[in-house]
Amino acid sequence: MIQVEHLSKRFGDKTAVDDISFRVHEGEILGFLGPNGAGKSTTMRILAGFLPATSGTARVAGYDVFTDSLNVRKQIGYLPENVPLYLDMRVNEYLTFRAQLKGVPKKDRRASIQEALEKCGVVEVQNQIVGTLSKGYRQRVGLADTMVHNPKILILDEPTIGLDPNQIRQVRSLIKELGKKHTILLSTHILPEVEMICGRVIIINNGKLVAMDTPGNLTSKLRGGATIHLEAKGPFGRIKACLEGIPAVLSVKGEDESVAPSGARTKTHRFVLETDKGRDVREEVFHAFVENKENKWVLLGMKKEAVTLEEVFHQITTREAEEAAGPLPPAEGPAPKGGIKETVSGLLKRIKA
């Protein structure tokens, strides 16, 4: 539905979007992820026909965004970042105006406005002046506007920004619902959002596309394994040695709390285990404890924690920033996994692997 090829946009000397290519398939919800100022909005503006690209091409629903802009604009519903609305109009007046502008035939107009009002939960404020509405309602009026002509494609620039948690939930479920009928490209810098609603994610930083995959793949490819938090009772050193003996365990961190400075003598310790890719060591840990009957070690708790998209995002984007800031000191010997000295290319290689 959307094909972007080698798209670049420069404002004077500043490159906002740098040679990005991607596709959005029909019926898909694609998340556009990146820190503020990464070039998300610029890309979306180009796709919506508001800005021309400096170089490269973009096609939306088969039409070129530059040469066939009017046809593109008929096919899309675009929600700009700050949801600029005419503040002096009433909600239903505004939506009527927008429906007319977008060419909704007169006989369908009332029905499609009513549908948009209901879907976005703004029926109760339809006679209010937009300027008197709260941010959350305005956002939803904007959303109602994007779907009033039932477009094939929705381009939503940060649709949940500035909403309270309940409204965010509503908007997310609304977007999920819309995703059944429309192709959606949405941008955000809120990570759980992407994990919740998007089928695929594009991470963009400094105008460059740095990763593109499903949220699940992105997280598992970055650091394969998982972190396991462990709570156990017994002699610290021996437990640690035993855990380190498990083949798939890469590292064991933990503090000896048996000599706590408070003087309270406790034998409960916490450990953090980093495990190898694709291996679940919880079973082995359990057996290690059970088989040591005579030692009377007790396993109090165990929790597996997958790498969140948040970490992926942070790692990818901050590495990029570090590299941009200046050359890194040369790594001495093999860098530890996830260590500071890892280069962007190394990181990206691992993502692509």
Partner 1 sequence: MTNSITIFKREMISYFYSPIAYIVIAVFLLSSGYFFARILALSQQATLMYSLANTQVILSILAPVITMRLLSEEVKSGTIEMLMTAPVTDFEVVFGKFLAALCLYLVMLAPTLLYVVFLGWVGDPDMGPIISSYIGLALMGAMFVSIGLLMSALTRNQIVAGVLGIVTLVILFYLGFAVSGTDGWYVPILQYVGTYDHWEPFTKGLVDTKDVIYYVSITVLCLFITVRTLESSKWR
Q: Which residues bind partner 1 (CB under 8 A)?
A: 45, 48-52, 70-71, 73-74, 76, 78, 80, 82, 84-89, 93, 97-98, 100-103, 145
What is the identity of the amino acid at 202?
I
- The distance of closest approach from Cβ of residue 12 to partner 1 in the complex, given in angstroms and rounded to an integer, is 10
Q: How many residues does the chain have?
A: 353
Nearer to partner 1, 98 or 172 (CB): 98
What is the identity of the amino acid at 75?
Q
Nearer to partner 1, 146 or 205 (CB): 146
Helices and strands, counts by H and E, the chain: 12, 14
Nearer to partner 1, 159 or 225 (CB): 159
- The distance of closest approach from Cβ of residue 316 to partner 1 in the complex, given in angstroms and rounded to an integer, is 29
Q: In what order do the strands lie in the sheet with 249-255?
A: 249-255, 268-275, 227-233, 298-305
The DSSP bridge pattern shows strands 76-79 and 63-64 to be unpaired
Nearer to partner 1, 98 or 200 (CB): 98
Q: Are 32 and 202 in contact (CB under 8 A)?
A: yes
The DSSP bridge pattern shows strands 208-213 and 200-205 to be antiparallel
- The distance of closest approach from Cβ of residue 70 to partner 1 in the complex, given in angstroms and rounded to an integer, is 5
Q: Are 79 and 156 in contact (CB under 8 A)?
A: yes
- The distance of closest approach from Cβ of residue 178 to partner 1 in the complex, given in angstroms and rounded to an integer, is 18
Q: Are 156 and 186 in contact (CB under 8 A)?
A: yes
Nearer to partner 1, 63 or 289 (CB): 63
- What CA–CA distance (Å, rounded) separates 90 from 112? 17
- The distance of closest approach from Cβ of residue 62 to partner 1 in the complex, given in angstroms and rounded to an integer, is 16
CB neighbours of 228 closer than 8 A, spacing ≥ 6?
Answer: 272, 273, 275, 281, 282, 285, 302, 303, 304, 305
Nearer to partner 1, 78 or 297 (CB): 78
Integer distance in angstroms from the first to the last C-alpha of the chain?
Answer: 27
- The distance of closest approach from Cβ of residue 219 to partner 1 in the complex, given in angstroms and rounded to an integer, is 34
